[in-house]
Amino acid sequence: MYDLKKLLKINQLIQIEVISKTGESVRYASRIENIIENFLTLVAPMKERQPLVLTPGTPFNIWFWNKEAVYVFRTYLRENVEATVPRIIVTYPETIKRVQKREFVRVGLVMEVLLSYFNPLGEEEVFYCKARDISGGGMMLVLNTYVPLRKGCKISVQFLLQQTLLNIPGVIVWNEWELDSAGIERNLIGVQFTDITEKDRKIIIKTVYQRQIELKRKGLL
Residues of the chain with CATH 2.30.110.10: 4-99
Per-residue pLDDT reduced to its tens digit, 7-52: 888 988 888 888 776 666 778 888 999 998 789 999 998 887 788 8
Closest CA to 83 of 36, 131, 120, 34: 34
pLDDT in tens, 82-111: 888 899 999 988 788 877 655 567 788 899
- Collapsing DSSP to helix, strand or coil, 162 comes out as coil
CATH 2.40.10.220 boundaries in the chain: 103-217
Domain spanning 103-217: CATH superfamily: predicted glycosyltransferase like domains (2.40.10.220)
How many alpha carbons fall within 13 Å on the CB side of residue 110?
2
Closest-CA residue to 102 (of 217, 207, 219, 220): 207
Superfamily of 4-99 according to CATH? Electron Transport, Fmn-binding Protein; Chain A (2.30.110.10)
